[in-house]
Amino acid sequence: MSVTPFPLSLWLSYFACRDITNKLRTEIVQVLLDHDPTLIKTFGQSNATPLITAAIRGHTEIVNLLLERDASLIELPKANGKNALHFAARPGHVEIVKALLEKDPQLARRTDKKGQTALHMAVKGTNCEVVNALVDADPAIVMLPDRAGNTVLHVAARKKRAEIVKVLLHLPDTNVNALTRDHKTAFDIAEGLPLSEESAEIKEWLSRYDAVRANELNQPRDELRKTVTEIKKDVHIQLEQTRKTNKNVHGIAKELRKLHREGINNATNSVTVVAVLFATVAFAAIFTVPGGTQEDGTAIVVHSGSFKIFFIFNAIALFTSLAVVVVQITLVRGETKAERRVVQIINKLMWLASVCTTVAFIASSYIVLGHIRWAAILVTLIGGLIMTGVLGTMTFYVVKSKHSRAMRKRTKSRSGSNSWQHTSEISDSEIDRIYAI
pLDDT digits (tens, 9 = 90+) for 167-210: 999 999 899 999 999 989 999 999 999 989 999 999 999 999 98
- State the burial class of residue 103 (Cβ atoms within 10 Å of its Cβ: 0-12, 13-18, 19+): middle
Model confidence at 320: pLDDT above 80: no
Q: CATH code at 37? A: 1.25.40.20
Residue 391, pLDDT score:
80
163 and 292 co-located in one domain: no
267 and 412 co-located in one domain: yes
The rounded radius of gyration (Å) of the Cα atoms in the chain is 53
Does 327 fall in a domain? yes
Distance CA 36, CA 32 (A): 6
Does 337 fall in a domain? yes
Residue 58, pLDDT score:
87
Does 231 fall in a domain? no
- Single out the residue in 150, 175, 200 at which a domain terminates: 175
292 and 407 co-located in one domain: yes
428: left (phi over 0), alpha (psi -120 to 50) or beta: alpha
- For 378-424, write each residue's pLDDT tens digit: 878 887 888 788 888 878 887 888 888 888 878 877 765 444 444 44
275 and 168 co-located in one domain: no
Distance CA 96, CA 89 (A): 8
Does 37 fall in a domain? yes
Confidence of residue 325 (pLDDT cuts 50, 70, 90): confident
* Per-residue buried b or exposed e for 214-237, using 16+ beta carbons within 10 Å of the residue's own CB: eeeeeeeeeeeeeeeeeeeeeeee
- What pTM was estimated for this model as a whole? 0.49
- State the burial class of residue 20 (Cβ atoms within 10 Å of its Cβ: 0-12, 13-18, 19+): middle
420 and 274 co-located in one domain: yes
Does 228 fall in a domain? no
- Single out the residue in 129, 156, 175 at which a domain terminates: 175
Distance CA 256, CA 3 (A): 104
Does 188 fall in a domain? no
- For 108-127, write each residue's pLDDT tens digit: 999 999 999 999 999 999 99
158 and 285 co-located in one domain: no
Q: For residues 310 and 339, which has the higher predicted lDDT (pLDDT)?
A: 310
Does 252 fall in a domain? no
Distance CA 266, CA 279 (A): 20
Does 121 fall in a domain? yes
Do residues 171 and 141 make contact, with C-beta atoms less than 8 angstroms apart? Answer: no
Residue 363, pLDDT score:
66
- Single out the residue in 113, 141, 175 at which a domain terminates: 175
166 and 34 co-located in one domain: yes
Confidence of residue 132 (pLDDT cuts 50, 70, 90): very high
Do residues 282 and 314 make contact, with C-beta atoms less than 8 angstroms apart? Answer: yes
The residue segments making up the domain with residue 286 are 261-431
Residue 86, pLDDT score:
95
When divided into structural domains, the chain yields a total of: 2
Confidence of residue 328 (pLDDT cuts 50, 70, 90): low
Query: E strand or H helix at 111, and its extent?
Result: none
* Per-residue buried b or exposed e for 361-398, using 16+ beta carbons within 10 Å of the residue's own CB: bbebbeebbbebeebbebbbebbeebbeebbeebeebb
Confidence of residue 166 (pLDDT cuts 50, 70, 90): very high
CB neighbour list of residue 308: distance below 8 Å, 6 or more residues apart: 372, 375
- For 215-258, write each residue's pLDDT tens digit: 887 655 556 667 777 888 888 888 888 888 888 888 888 888 78
163 and 266 co-located in one domain: no
Distance CA 184, CA 174 (A): 16
Distance CA 256, CA 250 (A): 10
Residue 255, pLDDT score:
85
